[in-house]
Chain A
Amino acid sequence: MKEFKVSHLLRYSLLLFFLIPYAIFLFYYKFSIDIDLSELLWALKNTLTQSTLTALIVTALSIPLSQGLILLPERLQTIVKRLLIVPQILPALYSILIAFSVLNPFPMGTMGIVFLFVLIDLGFATLMTYSVTTEKLGNMSVIGEVYSLGRLNFFKKIYFPLLKQDLIVNFFIIFIFCLSSFSIPLIVGGGRGTNLEVLIYEKIFVDQNWSAAFSLCAFQAMAIFFLSFFLLKNKQKDSEPFVAGNYLKSYVGLGVIIGYLGLYLGGYFIGLYKSFFYISFASMYVWDLYDAAIFTGKALAVYLTVNFIILVLWLLDYLNNKKFNLATNLISASTVLVGFTLYLAFPVTREYDLIKMTLAMSILFFPSLFKLFLQKPIEDLRQQILVAEVYGLSKPQIIIEIIFRQISKQMLLWVSFLIVWFISEYAVLKSLGVQTQTLGLVTEGFLSSYRLPLAYLMSFFILIYWVGALAVVSLILRVAYVAYKKLTI
């Protein structure tokens, strides 16, 4: 009975943790439904147009691009895969700058927003399509070739029927990313691209209409929750060894990948190269940078520790209930709401910066990063987890020996995203009212005052810092595991 109660307490505490912003909002404001239907429909129209167009273009393009990726030898493939994820990692403002230098004049409004979303998400979508292709198609391309099916027939009869569900899931992942995006519609929309998230921002910051803001947040959160719950489920399937037949290779796709990376990374590196001529200007900010780097490091350590604790509690909850917490569907929470509510709840002075940052980023990033990187690999271990339970392994042993040891690569990826999103973040920190300078805020300061070369230099410094932080974290985990093994022998 006691065991039963503790597991329920854990389950609901985890869910409530991710609902803290809503609870704070209700604490300060009386709950009432207040939605201007015409305004909501207008924002929804923009949202649906932007998100649907982007998701369609990106999902469609990801097919030939994934085939371009398959064409590459393994080593080169690994490098290109890492490069394809860069647009997702870099803060949105870099993508905006790159886009402005590519398209001049830039089409502000819906077209501009869609262009930017496509620029940012195409690499990521390509990787998702590549992943489902290699997991599900096994030997089929070769068999199709052996029996002279023809490329078109292969796609019609084999590729699309088998991958249809997964491509739909990919579509909705991109759709959700776009739906909850804030900075791009705000800046590039030019006042014309108000989506739901921007409307929430306007209700809070412009109209101070809290009821309307809360109603919209609740509506958006429910929409995302249901999309995530019903559509983003991982279907269990034993993957067969993949053989890349010619029907799944595309030189055109490879050409587009090269063009895409050339455009994005080329744009970034040209900006970075030009910024090196301004290094002497950067010297006056050396001590500020030093202070920001130290504080960012401290904050990162606390943040990673808290996220690790959440992960362990999450897994304990999974082992108790044989399914993941409902909070895993609270992906893409409103950044505006989270920032604003925690700003209200905590004093503005710098002593509270650390706790505000840790809470906000954990609530915002944990569910989505978990769903992206760890959920499926852990679900794939369910039979082994059962065996371990049958043989009486304790829950900590199952977590460490069975789960962590087998998903160490995915965990490294998860940690690396936690780190880079944390250290480069500034939009949430601004709305939180964080007073201490972090690397992200220093970058934002340069960006908003149009000291662009310094902003580029900062972005490069952040990338180096990221690699360094990841190396330190990996070392700490290795040492911790060795110590754990020695203690348990």
Chain B
Amino acid sequence: MSHIKNLRFKLDNFELDIPELNIPETGVTAIQGSSGSGKTTFLKTLIGLHQPSGWSWIFKGEELSRLSISKRKLGVVFQTYDLFPHLTAEENIFLILKARHEEQNHNEMHKQLQKYKSQLNLESCWKTLATNLSGGEKQRVALLRALVSNPRMLLLDEPFSALDSDLRVEARRTVKELIQQINIPVYLITHDQEDVNTLANHVIKMKAGKITQ
């Protein structure tokens, strides 16, 4: 279990108040709540964007709360995907590949990359500038980027909310297939019950900055 303790954080009129929380270190854990429940604030704290004092986050025996953003080695798919628009899909991936992997592991990672790329059906848009990709393509490139970044865990922040409803079904299925191949936990931030039903092994509910379930 990943263990969070004494997470208290005030931001404008909102307060995040999580005295204690255990999150499984395997499978998909959905953190579910309606708009304004504190999911995004919680996510930003896990990423390292907010730095409340006195809290603790132990993951596989390592204290992550003290680490800088880059040292936490997370794989994040943001709600707005945030690809680097001036780079092609390929360049977006390779930039992260170089940053996150030791040189001796490159070959291994390349093999994995080819596999994921094919599964995510990115061959046709591989050389396209990110700014010219469709919404669905951006989402898949963002997911691929997270997968090949050698992360401790994946954080998916409302990964399907920007897609049309018919694309969402397809996207959930793809993500589910991919998640089953990786051996790292996935934390899925969502308000959508369908996301929870399709993907989640465990559910944590949030309301007004507190954990309710």
Binding site for B on A (CB under 8 A): 383-384, 386-394, 397, 401-402, 405-406
Contact = CB atoms under 8 A, between A and B. Distances in A.
B17 to A, nearest CB: 25
B76 A392 contact: no
Contacts of B210: none
B95 A401 contact: yes
B95 A390 contact: no
B70 A397 contact: no
B169 to A, nearest CB: 27
A55 B69 CA distance: 44
A411 to B, nearest CB: 13
Given A384-B84, A389-B70, A394 B76 contact: no
A384 B74 CA distance: 15
B82 A406 contact: no
Contacts of A392: 70-71, 73, 96, 99-100, 149
B49 interface: yes
Closest A-B pairs by Cβ, 9 of them:
A392-B70, A392-B99, A391-B96, A389-B69, A387-B82, A393-B99, A406-B86, A389-B70, A392-B100
Contacts of B26: none
Given A383-B78, A393-B70, A397-B99, 14 more contacts: A383-B80, A383-B82, A384-B82, A388-B84, A389-B69, A390-B47, A390-B70, A390-B72, A391-B70, A391-B100, A391-B149, A392-B149, A394-B99, A406-B84
A221 to B, nearest CB: 34
B71 to A, nearest CB: 8
Interface of B: 47-49, 69-74, 76, 78, 80, 82, 84-87, 95-96, 99-100, 145, 149
From B73, B80, B82, B145, residue with most partner A Cβ within 10 Å: B82
Contacts of B100: 391-392
Given A391-B145, A402-B84, A386 B49 contact: yes
A448 to B, nearest CB: 48
Nearest to B155: A390
Contacts of A390: 47-48, 69-70, 72, 74, 76
15 contacts: A383-B80, A383-B82, A387-B76, A387-B82, A389-B70, A390-B74, A390-B76, A391-B100, A391-B145, A392-B96, A393-B70, A397-B99, A401-B84, A406-B85, A406-B86
Contacts of B99: 391-394, 397
Contacts of A389: 69-70
Contacts of A393: 70, 95-96, 99
Contacts of B47: 386, 390
From A384, A387, A393, A405, residue with most partner B Cβ within 10 Å: A387
Nearest to B74: A390
Contacts of B85: 406
Nearest to B78: A387
A405 B86 contact: yes
A387 B149 CA distance: 12
Nearest to B95: A401
A383 B85 CA distance: 12
Contacts of B82: 383-384, 386-387
B153 to A, nearest CB: 12
B96 to A, nearest CB: 5
A393 B87 CA distance: 15
B136 to A, nearest CB: 19
B183 to A, nearest CB: 20
A392 B70 CA distance: 4
A405 to B, nearest CB: 6
B138 to A, nearest CB: 13
From A384, A386, A392, A397, residue with most partner B Cβ within 10 Å: A392
Contacts of B95: 391, 393, 397, 401
Nearest to A322: B49
Nearest to A395: B70
Contacts of A384: 82, 84
B12 to A, nearest CB: 16
Contact of B69 (A386, A397, A401, A402): A386
Contacts of A406: 84-86
A390 B76 CA distance: 8
A392 B146 CA distance: 12
A401 B99 CA distance: 12
A76 to B, nearest CB: 26
A383 B76 CA distance: 13
A383 B79 CA distance: 12
A391 B74 CA distance: 7
Contacts of B70: 389-393
A237 B38 CA distance: 23
A168 to B, nearest CB: 25
A393 B70 CA distance: 8
From A383, A390, A397, A406, residue with most partner B Cβ within 10 Å: A390
A383 B78 CA distance: 10
Nearest to B145: A391
B72 to A, nearest CB: 8
Nearest to A488: B98
Contacts of B49: 386
Contacts of B71: 392
